[in-house]
């Protein structure tokens, strides 16, 4: 088991950097890694995906908090917007985490793989938007009644696949006219609340899995392996987001998502 857990170190480092650079909780990397470790220990895939999602959300609580604090110090968090959106985000998190806690199905593995492909597409679109001239942009303004629905869906889908929500909230915020740095910081703060709500709710409502070394649905050996790496590298990612053009890293991240997404879909189908 220790050899398998050692394989989580590199994904954990990547997750921390991604959290700081792009405002993502790192779940897009952590979930497949934990899923692989569990299935290599003969845990059924439909059970492993639920545990991987819950473990990812648990790590995002502290990782996201570290990232959000770093962005707050840089004045990149729109706290007014965070508090305005919070009730709808948490309601969505309750729905998604309830599904993860109560249902075990290979369909969630396929859904996660498709989600990674969508993340890759969004990464390409966001990269193009960041490189475009600000004067050529037209800020998007949704009708007031639509934003609660959008934020609710961000919370539901994010908790369903074990991510912090930045995949969807950062593009939404930039489309509304926020700068990319402020969108990333605000997204990181939202991700902390989302992950905390989802993790606590799953601890209260989960169905027993019979898998050793779990508390609720959180796989503690993986959690304790991942946390030190993400806590160290999330602040570094936040600082790097100020200093480098991240489009090359973004492209590498996109290719990784396409490959891992294809693998997850194949496992779910087979």
The residue ranges of every structural domain in the chain are: 2-269
Biggest alpha carbon–alpha carbon distance for the chain = 57
Q: What are the start-end ranges of the E strands in the chain?
A: 214-215, 218-219
Q: What is the DSSP letter of 218?
A: E
User: Which of 159-163, 168-172, 177-181, 204-208 has the highest mean predicted lDDT (pLDDT)?
Assistant: 159-163
How many angstroms separate the CA atoms of 27 and 23, rounded?
11
* Backbone φ, ψ for residue 77 (5° rounding): -110, 125
* Nearest of 175, 180, 166 to residue 147 by alpha carbon: 175
Residue 137: is its pLDDT beyond 60?
no
**Contact between 187 and 164 (Cβ < 8 Å):** yes
Residue 126: is its pLDDT beyond 90?
no
Q: What is the DSSP letter of 142?
A: -
Residue 26 backbone zone (phi > 0: left; psi -120 to 50: alpha; other: beta) = left
CA–CA distances in Å: residue 210 to residues 6, 119, 174: 23, 32, 43
For 38-65, what is each residue's pLDDT tens digit? 998 889 998 999 999 999 999 888 878 8
Cβ partners under 8 Å of residue 97, min gap 6: 57, 159, 160, 197, 198, 199, 201, 202, 205
Residue 7: is its pLDDT beyond 70?
yes
How many angstroms separate the CA atoms of 14 and 18, rounded?
6
Q: Return the number of other C-beta atoms located less than 10 Å from residue 195's C-beta.
A: 30
- pLDDT of 225 reads 86
């Amino acid at each position: 088991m220790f050899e398998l857990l050692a394989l989580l170190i590199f994904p954990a480092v990547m997750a921390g950097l991604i959290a700081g650079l792009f405002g993502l909780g790192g779940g897009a990397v952590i979930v497949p890694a934990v899923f692989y470790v569990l299935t290599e220990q003969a845990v059924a895939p439909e059970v492993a995906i639920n545990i991987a999602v819950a473990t990812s959300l648990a790590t995002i609580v502290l990782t996201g908090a570290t990232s959000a604090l770093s962005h707050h110090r840089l004045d990149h968090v729109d706290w007014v917007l965070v508090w305005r959106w919070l009730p709808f985000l948490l309601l969505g998190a309750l729905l998604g985490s309830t599904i993860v806690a109560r249902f075990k199905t290979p369909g969630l593995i396929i859904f996660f793989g498709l989600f990674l492909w969508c993340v890759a597409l969004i990464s390409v679109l966001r990269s193009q938007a960041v490189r475009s001239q600000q004067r050529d942009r037209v800020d998007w303004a949704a009708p007031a009644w639509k934003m609660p629905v959008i934020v609710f869906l961000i919370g539901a889908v994010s908790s369903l696949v074990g991510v912090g929500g930045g995949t969807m909230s950062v593009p939404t915020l930039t489309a509304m006219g926020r700068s990319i740095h402020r969108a990333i910081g605000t997204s990181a703060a939202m991700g902390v609340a989302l992950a905390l709500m989802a993790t606590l709710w799953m601890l209260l409502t989960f169905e027993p899995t019979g898998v050793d070394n779990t508390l609720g649905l959180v796989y503690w050996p993986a959690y304790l392996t991942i946390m030190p790496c993400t806590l160290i590298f999330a602040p570094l990612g936040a600082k790097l987001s100020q200093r480098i053009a991240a489009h090359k890293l973004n492209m590498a991240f996109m290719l990784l998502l396409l490959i891992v997404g294809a693998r997850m879909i194949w496992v779910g189908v087979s």
